[in-house]
Amino acid sequence: MDLLIGCARKESLQRAEALARERGCFVLGGCLDGRQLLEQARRERPDALLCELVLPLLDGAAVLSRLGELALPGAPALVLCAPRGMDRGSLPLAGALVGEGWEEAFACLDLVGRRQIDGPTARRMAERLQEMGFSTHLRGREYIERALCLCLQDGERLRDLRARVYGPIAREKGVRPESVERDIRYAIEHAWRYGKLSALHLFFGYTVPPEKGKPGNRAFLAQMTEAIKREGK
């Protein structure tokens, strides 16, 4: 998960960044005030923002409000770290997850990671890949599922696969983006060579150029993203 962190003090920011990395998150950046956090969110488009409720210039409630106004693709989640002992029930923070202290805030962040796409969509995606003959023993199949999750959340990721699809997957898996790209390409080649032609034709028809014989990574992910979206409507 790509994450931005906002803290009022540098020491707290360093601790939060260390905890995030321990949990497998990639920290896109750390900010010491709410305005900087929002500006960086606009540029970086993270999966989630984790910030203290009390911040200079813009507090957590203001960050939540203006985050909605930005209408960022993928709708990044906001997880707030509230001071211990604060009555959170009186806070006007609908739409944000609020944890008391860093440990509880990171537990809320884990929930964000598990809610990336809903269960029915995940099942449809797995079923379609299985129908087409994408073998579960290939790393590329796993990477394709993750890439589709990212593209279903934010279709703009298709414009820059290396930075916004291969990169996040590579950071999660501890490999290089080139490895993710290569394994996805191999999984597609394997499906077009050994998979079920009737199912492949159902999804791709005559959109694959004869001289290529199979779609490229971008074309495949774009077509599958749209197909899964249509089925969900």
Residues 75 and 172 in one domain: no
Residues 144 and 83 in one domain: no
pLDDT at 101: 76
Residues 71 and 132 in one domain: no
Residues 75 and 106 in one domain: yes
Per the CB < 8 A criterion, the answer to whether 67 and 97 are in contact is no
Domain boundary among 93, 114, 135: 114
Per the CB < 8 A criterion, the answer to whether 161 and 95 are in contact is no
pLDDT at 143: 93
DSSP assignment of 81-119, as one string?
A: EEPTT--GGGS--TTSEEEEHHHHHHHHHHHHHHTSS-H
Residues 78 and 37 in one domain: yes
Q: Is the dihedral of CA 87, 90, 91, 97 positive or negative?
A: positive
Query: Dmax over Cα atoms in the chain, in whole Å?
Result: 66
| Structural domain of 192 | 119-232
Q: Is the dihedral of CA 86, 87, 89, 93 positive or negative?
A: negative
Domain boundary among 65, 87, 114: 114
Residues 7 and 110 in one domain: yes
Domain boundary among 114, 139, 172: 114
b/e per residue 35-68 (b: at least 16 CB within 10 A): bbbbebbeeebbbbbbbbbebeebbbbebbebbe
Residues 142 and 158 in one domain: yes
Per the CB < 8 A criterion, the answer to whether 36 and 178 are in contact is no
Residues 96 and 199 in one domain: no
Residues 186 and 139 in one domain: yes
- Report the CATH number that the domain containing residue 143 is assigned in CATH: 1.10.10.10
Digit-by-digit pLDDT tens for the chain (233 residues) are: 788 898 989 998 898 888 888 877 788 888 999 899 988 888 888 878 888 888 888 887 788 778 777 766 656 778 888 777 665 555 555 556 777 777 777 777 765 655 556 667 777 888 888 888 888 888 999 899 889 988 887 788 898 899 888 988 887 777 899 999 999 999 999 988 888 877 787 777 666 555 556 888 999 999 889 888 887 76
> How many domains does the chain contain in total?
2
- Report the CATH number that the domain containing residue 109 is assigned in CATH: 3.40.50.2300
pLDDT at 117: 63
- Distances 122 to 52, 111, 216 between C-alpha atoms, Å: 32, 16, 23
pTM, two decimals, is 0.59
Residues 124 and 95 in one domain: no
Residues 108 and 123 in one domain: no
d(CA 51, CA 20) in angstroms, rounded, equals 12
Question: 172: closest CA among 136, 146, 140?
Answer: 146
**Count of CB atoms within 10 A of residue 213's CB?**
10
Residues 140 and 219 in one domain: yes
